[in-house]
Structure 1
Amino acid sequence: MPKQLQKIWWLMFPITFVAGYAAYLLVQAAGIIQLDSLPQMLVFVLCFAALRTGLLFVSWLAIVGFVPQLAKSILDKEAATK
Structure 2
Amino acid sequence: MPKNLQKQWWFMFPVTFISGYAAFLLVQAAGIGGLETVAQMLVFALCFAALRAGLQFVSWLAIVAFLPKLAKSVIGQEGAK
TM range (shorter): over 0.9
> Following TM superposition, by how much is the alpha carbon of 1:54 offset from its aligned partner in structure 2, in angstroms?
0.7
Report the counterpart of residue 36 of structure 2 in structure 1.
Answer: 36
Please give the root-mean-square deviation of Cα atoms over the aligned residues, in Å: 0.7
Q: Normalising by the residue count of structure 2, what TM-score does the alignment of the two structures yield?
A: 0.95
Structure 1 segments, 4+ long, off by >6 Å, are none
Q: Normalising by the residue count of structure 1, what TM-score does the alignment of the two structures yield?
A: 0.94
Q: Please give the alpha-carbon distance, in whole angstroms, between the structure 2 residues aligned to 1:32 and 1:70.
A: 40
> Following TM superposition, by how much is the alpha carbon of 1:79 offset from its aligned partner in structure 2, in angstroms?
1.3
Superposed counterparts of 1:56-71, under 5 Å: 56-71=56-71
> Following TM superposition, by how much is the alpha carbon of 1:80 offset from its aligned partner in structure 2, in angstroms?
1.6
Residue type of the partner of 1:35? L
Residue type of the partner of 2:33? I
Q: Please give the alpha-carbon distance, in whole angstroms, between the structure 2 residues aligned to 1:78 and 1:45.
A: 30
Identity %: 69
| Residues paired across the two proteins, number | 81
Q: Which secondary structure does the structure 2 equivalent of 1:33 belong to?
A: coil
